[in-house]
Structure 1
Amino acid sequence: MKEVNAAAAAMNHCLDQVPNLPDLNISYDGRVEWNPTKSMDATIHQFRTAVLSANVRIIKQILKDLHNLASGQIERFLALLINRTSAEPTKEALMTAICIGSRPLVEFILSLFMEYPGEERNGCRKSKSFPMHMTPLMLACICNNFSIVQCLLLRKHYMQLPHRPDCKF
């Protein structure tokens, strides 16, 4: 019984030493690396309009000016962005942007999912580059890019708890 009381006293002593963050008035607000402005909103709108109308010249210019992409990357993105037959190419473009690690590029591509509500949260079903179960949020976490994780969480992305392989649910 004395050992239990001693353990409880030690635990209480440890808890007394843990600072109460609200009392200290300190917090961690995250690392924000994306500060959208009205001109950036206009550029996102211009990008979206260019993609929907398949205006290759404007898309290339925006990708080159704002995102410092190499010409090979731009060509790969163009092929994915212009193909609007389904959400799959746009999802692959999103996953590629997450791998590159550019939050502005991720924001630009997320603007293209208006025609496919909810699809931005799913993985690519027919991609050679990304496994089917990999969601954008999972990939951003794996890439350890807090800024993109924050962006996706603000857009209501979530991660489902994994199940064991023999689970029937």
Structure 2
Amino acid sequence: METNWMPTGIFEEEVVLLIGDYKKKAYKRTKSRPALVDAVLFSKKEHVFAKKCFSTRAKFDDRQKEHDIVVESLTSRNKDPEMWISIDGIVLIHIRNLQWKFRGNQTVLVDKQPVQVFWDVHSWLFCAPGSTHGLFIFKPGTAEADSDKEESSRCYTYLNH
């Protein structure tokens, strides 16, 4: 038996909140019309189990194209751990001595727009292999811009690798 959960918020016969990707079914079942304003992706979260390399696609802004994100790591016991984060085939972050820099952040430019990249890979290095994850957050804008204005409709991409 298949069930499709679609948490939906309706106000004055208009769908104002829809969680999931069953738009047409939600409109049909609730006999409501779509919102007049397009939806905004607030965050994307992925859980992936991999050893050395992970890739995904994400948008940092509703107006921009999707970008290819690749996280590669070298954590073998014979070498000092390293990690690379590439966007659209360009290595933007290379962390050497990862055993000392397992948590950090850096602002990079993607299509001439700043994106803050945060990482926490402590578990990769110091917990049992295969049972751990790394956390990566890609946040459009700069820290200075965030403190100057109120939160806007930015997209946050969370990767649990």
- Using the size of structure 1 for normalisation, the TM-score is 0.31
Question: Which structure: greater helix fraction?
Answer: 1
Q: Which has the larger radius of gyration?
A: 1
Question: Which structure: greater strand fraction?
Answer: 2
